[in-house]
Amino acid sequence: MRIPDAAVLRAPHLRGARALFTTRDGGVGEAPFDTLNLALHVGDDEGTVLQNRARIAQLMGAPLAAVEQVHSARVATLPPQGELPLVQADALVTRRRDTALMIMVADCLPVLLVDEQTPVIGAAHAGRRGLLDGILENTVRAMEEQGAVPGRIRASIGPSICGRCYEVPQEMQDDAAARLPASSSRTGWGTPALDLRAGAVQALLAAGLVREGILAEAPCTREDPRFFSYRRAARTGRIAGVIRLQ
Angle among Cα 123, 139, 46 to the nearest 5 degrees reads 35
At 115, which CATH number? 3.60.140.10
Residue 91 lies in a domain: yes
Q: Beta 17-22 vs 8-10: how paired, if at all? A: antiparallel
Q: Is the pLDDT of residue 58 over 80?
A: yes
How far apart CA 198 and CA 216 sit, in angstroms, is: 8
Residue 1 lies in a domain: no
Residue 90 lies in a domain: yes
6 or 59, which is more confident: 59
Across the chain, mean pLDDT equals 97
Collapsing DSSP to helix, strand or coil, 167 comes out as strand
Q: Which pTM value belongs to this model?
A: 0.97
| Host domain of residue 180 | 8-245
How far apart CA 221 and CA 104 sit, in angstroms, is: 13
Residue 24 lies in a domain: yes
How far apart CA 235 and CA 233 sit, in angstroms, is: 6
Q: How many domains does the chain have?
A: 1
Residue 32 lies in a domain: yes
Model confidence at 157, pLDDT cuts 50, 70, 90, reads very high
Model confidence at 2, pLDDT cuts 50, 70, 90, reads confident
Q: Kindly list the distances between the CA atom of residue 56 and the CA atoms of 83, 145, 215, in Å, as whole numbers in the listed order.
A: 17, 28, 23
Residue 105 lies in a domain: yes
Residue 25 lies in a domain: yes
Largest alpha-carbon pair distance within the chain?
51
Mean pLDDT on 24-53? 97
Mean pLDDT on 55-83? 96
Quick one: what percent of the chain has pLDDT higher than 90? 95
Residue 3 lies in a domain: no
- Render pLDDT for 199-241 as a digit per residue (tens, 0 to 9): 999 999 999 999 999 999 999 999 999 999 999 999 999 999 9
- Render pLDDT for 173-196 as a digit per residue (tens, 0 to 9): 999 999 999 999 999 999 999 999
